[in-house]
Each structure stands twice: as C-alpha cells, then as structure tokens.
Amino acid sequence: MTALTTGAAAFLARAEGAAPRLPGADLPWLAQLRAEAALAFRGQGFPNRRVEAWKYTDLAAAMQAAFGEPLSRSESLPALPPALHPRAVFVDGHFRPDLSSLAGLAFPVAGLAASLPSLADRLGAVASPIGHPLVALNAMLFEDGLVIDLPAGLAGGVIELLSVATEAERAPTFHPRHLLRLGAGATLTLIERAIGPATRYLHNPVFEIEVAEGARLNHGRLQAEGRDALFLSSVSARVAAGGTYDNFSLIAGARLSRNEIHVALVGAGAAAHMNGAQLIGNGQHADTTTTLDHAAPGCPSRQTYKSVLAGRSRGVFQGKILVRQVAQKTDGYQMNQALLLSEEAEIDAKPQLEIYADDVKCSHGATVGALDPEQLFFLRARGIPKAVAESMLVEAFLTEAVDAIEDEAIREAFAGVVPGWWQGAR
Amino acid sequence: MLKIENLHASIDGKPILQGLSLTIAPGEIHAIMGPNGSGKSTLSYVLAGREGYEVTEGSVTFDGQDLLAMEPEERSIAGIFLAFQAPVELPGVGNANFLRTAINAVRRGRGEAEVDAMQFLKLARARMKVLNMADEMLKRNVNVGFSGGEKKRNEMLQMALLAPRMALLDETDSGLDIDALKLVADTVNSLRGPTFSALVITHYQRLLTHIVPDHVHVLAGGRIVRSGGAELALELEATGYASAAA
C-alpha cells in the first residue's frame, strides 16, 4: 500500500465521518459497497503520473487542494436553460423533482436516494471501484442520482439530465450516481448537460448503463462546467447482443476534466459508437479516456474524437480496445485528431490495442496539426474576415465527429456550441 | 486603377521581384508572360496579400489606396480577385456555405445588401449553368475530390459571383483541356467592361487566343523586360523567352 496523499486522506476521512449520515446508511449491502469502495480507494488514492492510466493527467496533484463539504440544499439558484424535452434537474448533485419536468413519461424515472432499498442488485453491477479511482470516490460519497428503467420494447423518446452547480465559496464536491437500464428492444435518447458558476467545485458523476438485447441508448453529453471546476466523470456501459450504445461527448468547460467511458460489448453483434470533441482554451486540461471491451463475436465499434486546443491548454486522449479471444469478427475503428490553435497548446494521445482473437479488423489512427495557412489565405482572399475563416476551419475539423451524431435531438442540442465556444476562446 | 511602382519583394530573404512597374487602367486586360521562376506567382500573391512575402521596396496602389497595407479580405472587398493556380481543398466546408459566406462578406464590405439562401441559390445556379457545372457541386466540400477542370470552374464561379474589378489569373490555364480553357476565357470575357480589368499570368500563349489582351509584358528576373500588344504573345510563342527578353 502506498502512502495516501493529503488530498486522498481528506476524502477518506470525510467518507468515514459522513457514513452514518449518507442515504441508505441502514442498508447492509450498501454499507458493504461503500466499505469495499473505501478499501479500493485506500489502496490507490488519487493516482499520480507514475500510474499508466494517469500518465498525462496528474490526479494526485489536482486533488491536493482542500474541498468543502457537499452542500445540503442550495439557497440560490441560477437561471436554468430552457428545457426542450422532459427533464430531470440536479442541483449540486441532488435530484430536484420540484425543478424537473417529468410528468407524462411512459417509464419510471426516480431519484436514487429515494430508490436505494430496491437497488441492491443494480448498484455497482456495471462500474467497479477496483482500479477506477473515480468510481471508488463516487461510491464512498454518492448521495443521489437518477434511476431510469425502460421496460422492454418501449420507445422512450428524449430525456434531459441537467446538472447545475451553484455558487459557493468553499469548493463543494458532489458525486451523483446515475443508473440507466434499457429492456430488450427499448430505445432512449439521454441528453446530459453539466453547467456551473466560475467558482471552484468538484463534479464526480458515475453512470452505470445496461443495454439489453436489441436496445439502443443515444447518450449525448455536454460538459460546460464553470472555468474553475473539476469534472471527474466515469461512464460504464454494458451492451447485450444486438444492442447499441451511442455516446457523443462535447467537452468544453472545467479547469480540469476527465471523461472516462468504458463500454463492454458482451453479446454477439452489440455495437458501440463513441464520438466526441474537446474544445478547450487557456488554462484548461481535458482528458478523454475510453476503454472498449469486445467480449463477444461480431461486434462493431466506432470511435472518432477531436480536440481543438487554444491558448495554453492541454488535451489528452487515451483509447484502449481490448478484443478477447471469443470476439472473432470484431470490427473496431478508432481515430483521434487534434487541432492546435496556439504554440502553447499540447496534446497527448495514446491509442492502445490488445487483441487476442485472430479473425478481427481493427484500425486506429492519430493526427495533430495546426490551421492550414493556405486554407486560411484562400478564405480571406475571398473576402471572409480572418476570425470567420478560422471559425469555419475549426468547424470543418470537427465535422467528422459531429456528423457521427445520428440522433437529431442531440445534434440540435449541441448546435451552436462550437461557434459560441470559438467566440469565448478568442 | 492598379499602379505598381518599382516593386521589390522577397521570400525568406531571397529577392524575387526586383523593380517591377506596371499600370493597369480600368477596362484593360494585361498579360504577363515569362519562364518558370521569373516571379509570376510571387507577383499575384503579393498583390493578393499572402503572408510570407516581404516587400522591401516600391509601392502598389489600387484606386489610389495603398494595397500593400490592406488585409487579404480587405483587398477582396476592394475588388481584387485572385484565381489560384492550385486551389486548396477544404474538407468539411460545404461549397454552398463557403460561396454564400464569401458573397455576403464581400457585399457587406461594399455596403451592399446580403443575399439569403434562396437568392444565393438562384445566383449560383445561373452562373453554374453557364460554366457547365452540375448543381451537386454546391453540396460537395470545397474542391474536395474535384478534378483539375472542376477546381478551375469553381474558381471562375467564385470570380463571377464576387464581381471583382481586378482579376488576377495565376496560370489558371495550367493543366486544362481546351473546353475548360474556353470556359475560363468565356468567364473573363463576360465580365469584360469599362470597370473590369484583369492581369492574366501565364506561361503559354494559348489562353491569350481566347482572352485577347490589350497589353502583353514579359517578366524575367523579377522585372518587366519588354512590353507590347497582343502580337507579342505570338512572337514569344514562336521565338521563346530568351530571345524576346534579349
């Protein structure tokens, strides 16, 4: 066991102190789950760069500064963006039915805190704390979350999950645990949006997602946290035969963000589409880390990630594809590309293929570049102002990833983010 | 209209243009001919404002304004149009979006009303018909997967839609078959008038049988060494640059 950093020790102490007050404290299975998470956390703490999975993002350093206790209930609430679909609202990690608009849904949507007694078999079924410090941290401290259950065959339409952080002086932390389960043949589009003020806070959401046979989840994420926030997120999805998990993540906010997506394709013909873009500027660090576990034959997976980095910023992409021996006829593709808009911007990319089956098709690629001066001059020679020309080329760079969004509602929700980001980044 | 006086320009400290002077009056078409390496492309890039060229001496005015002090987009709005020798490809940028953005940027800069999507399509389609371009070329990405001839047609489409007063054609004829060559010439000839001038930069005489210039200049060693009428182009074709420049 390595010595814990003071940052990690502080969280561990807090978890111990808070245990009796956390929701579900009277449930033995949950106490067990939290204890196991604490044990895992004690073993690994917040990894530094000597740990391979954290080579480019020093979590130990990022978590050294002190955080305050979570807020029980916020007094002041910022104006919420308009809801385009049925919406579940979380404020500082707490589900707020009073702010949500979920009436008329044909399937159950509930807060996790209120549902705990019925979740013994589900909580922790997909996301393990072992080797996953973000999951361990979440498991020790979660207080709430969203629980969605789609019955087999149901077309669930679109639902939004809005997370709002409120302004607070003492750097609060919140650790929601969201559970989604889609029955056989069910479909759902989830549009997740995280926003917050410019003050310092930690948002540590963990998603556990189960997609049954032939079901499909379209999961759009817009991380637009405040500029001083830490966003440490882990999504774990398990996809059964013929099912599809489709994720598009647009990472634009937070001082430091880690966007982990772990997908296991466990039934024949299950599919994963994981695409996204990181748009960051001066002082920001964004890390997208994916693992794709091909554990069944004949599964296609597609990943296209793009990073646009302005100012003194740092982007990280780590993508691991594991093809188990049983996963013959796997068709895997992974591409990550970075556009550096300043000399001070930096990208680290680490693709990783681990293949144990012999009849597979797997490819990956990575590129890094700057705006092409020839293209820029061509546009300007046609009367287009420099700033507009640059914006056109940035959007063009992102096209491939954005075009991969199949869901119209997600596409609409994210339209305008790129031009808006560009205005702010300049 | 365009007045170039004693222009010296260099790239990476290497002098390319060495005292070039040329005046183009409204309505005139001038041709500049010269061997490879004589500075033809440098001249067009310096006039259009591409980065990387250092003007060390001389001046260029356009309607009395200091052209060299203007940004590339300002020159375009003022009425300069450079038809590229090798138009770049823009993956991810739709041709229609590009053309409309350019037209409206130029119109805005000139104090003219912008065009909406319908007006744009009408304008573009009318000109594309003349240029023998299929409608679907609007839907494709700018120049991506275009043949050499298609790229040049796209350049001519931009030229016609941006209504320049001074077109710079930088070896627009290179690599074109005779049909495409005629389309380029037809576009230039259709714009010809008292307020349209052009500088046709070419290595070969053949484009000049379709765009008959008012004046022909021979460029060698970064300056104009000889000037004459349209007949000079024919003479160069017959005798070569070496004897013409002598």
Could you tell me if B157 and B99 are in contact, meaning their C-beta atoms sit under 8 angstroms apart?
Answer: yes
Residue A111 identity (one-letter amino acid): G
Provide, as residue numbers in chain B, all residues whose Cβ is less than 8 Å from the Cβ of A380: 49, 71-73, 76
The answer as to whether A321 is a domain residue is yes
Contacts of A224 (CB under 8 A, 6+ apart): A193, A194, A195, A252, A253, A417
Sign for the CA dihedral angle at B42, B48, B52, B54 comes to: positive
Kindly report, residue by residue over A151-175, the tens digit of the pLDDT: 999 999 999 999 999 988 889 999 9
Q: Tell me if chain B has a CB within 8 Å of the CB of A380.
A: yes
Q: How far is B79 from chain A (nearest CA, A)?
A: 9
Average pLDDT (A80-99) is 94
More confident residue, A1 or A30: A30
Running DSSP on this structure, what letter comes out for residue A198? S
The answer as to whether A393 is a domain residue is no
The answer as to whether A191 is a domain residue is yes
**Beta-strand (E) ranges in A341-410?**
346-355, 361-370
Kindly report, residue by residue over A343-367, the tens digit of the pLDDT: 999 999 999 999 999 999 999 999 9
CATH code, residues B2-245? 3.40.50.300
The answer as to whether A400 is a domain residue is no
Question: Residue A412: is its pLDDT beyond 90?
Answer: no
The answer as to whether A170 is a domain residue is yes
Residues 76-135 of B with CB under 8 A from A: 76-77, 81-82, 84, 87-88, 90-93, 97-98, 101-102, 105-106, 109
Beta bridge partners of B59: B5
Identify which of A372, A385, A396 has the shortest CB distance to residue B73. Answer: A385
Closest by CA to A174, choosing from A65, A322, A72, A31, is: A72
Beta bridge partners of A45: none
Nearest CA in chain B to A374: B88
Domain limits for position A353: 6-371
Identify which of A380, A392, A396 has the shortest CB distance to residue B71. Answer: A380
Model pLDDT, residue A89: 97
CA distance linking residue B44 with residue A354, whole number of Å: 53
Provide, as residue numbers in chain B, all residues whose Cβ is less than 8 Å from the Cβ of A404: none
Residues 138-167 of B with CB under 8 A from A: 158, 162
The secondary structure of A96-163 as a DSSP string is: -TTT-B-TT-SS-EEEHHHHGGG-TTTTTSS--STT-HHHHHHHHH----EEEEEPTT-EEEEEEEEE
Model pLDDT, residue A281: 93
Running DSSP on this structure, what letter comes out for residue B87? P
Model pLDDT, residue A170: 85
Identify which of B91, B101, B105 has the shortest CB distance to residue A396. Answer: B91
Provide, as residue numbers in chain B, all residues whose Cβ is less than 8 Å from the Cβ of A384: 73, 101-102, 105
Model pLDDT, residue B203: 83
Model pLDDT, residue A71: 61
Identify which of B50, B51, B102 has the shortest CB distance to residue A382. Answer: B102
Q: Whole-prediction pTM value?
A: 0.87
The secondary structure of A44-103 as a DSSP string is: H-S--TTSGGGSSS-HHHHT-S--PPPPSS-S--PPPPPPSS-EEEEETTEE-TTT-B-T
Question: Residue A370: is its pLDDT beyond 90?
Answer: yes
The answer as to whether A395 is a domain residue is no
Residue the block writes with tokens 């243009």: B17
Identify which of B84, B93, B102 has the shortest CB distance to residue A383. Answer: B102
Give the neighbor-by-neighbor strand order of the sheet with B223-228. Answer: B80-83, B166-170, B197-202, B29-33, B215-220, B223-228
Model pLDDT, residue A392: 92
**What is the interface pTM, i.e. ipTM, of the complex?**
0.96
Q: Tell me if chain B has a CB within 8 Å of the CB of A382.
A: yes
Mean pLDDT of chain A: 93
> Is A382 in contact with B106 (Cβ distance < 8 A)?
yes
- Cα of B232 vs its chain's centroid, Å: 21
Kindly report, residue by residue over A95-148, the tens digit of the pLDDT: 999 999 998 899 999 999 999 999 999 999 999 999 999 999 999 999 999 999
The secondary structure of B152-220 as a DSSP string is: HHHHHHHHHHH--SEEEEESTTTT--HHHHHHHHHHHHHH-BTTBEEEEEESSSGGGGTS--SEEEEEE
CB atoms within 10 A of CB A411: 14
Provide, as residue numbers in chain B, all residues whose Cβ is less than 8 Å from the Cβ of A395: 92-93
The encoded tokens of residue B34 equal 């010269």
> Is B84 in contact with A378 (Cβ distance < 8 A)?
yes
Model pLDDT, residue A332: 96
Identify which of A374, A375, A381 has the shortest CB distance to residue B48. Answer: A381
Could you tell me if B209 and B199 are in contact, meaning their C-beta atoms sit under 8 angstroms apart?
Answer: no
Could you tell me if A167 and A197 are in contact, meaning their C-beta atoms sit under 8 angstroms apart?
Answer: yes
Stretches where chain B sits below pLDDT 50 are: none
CB atoms within 10 A of CB B58: 18
> Is B91 in contact with A386 (Cβ distance < 8 A)?
no
The answer as to whether A424 is a domain residue is no
Q: Where do the structural domains in chain B lie, given as residue ranges?
A: 2-245
Kindly report, residue by residue over A90-99, the tens digit of the pLDDT: 999 999 999 9
Total number of domains in chain A: 1
The answer as to whether A409 is a domain residue is no
> Is A396 in contact with B90 (Cβ distance < 8 A)?
yes
Nearest CA in chain B to A383: B73
Residue the block writes with tokens 């599809």: A244
A332 to A95, A354, B12: CA distances (angstroms) = 37, 12, 46
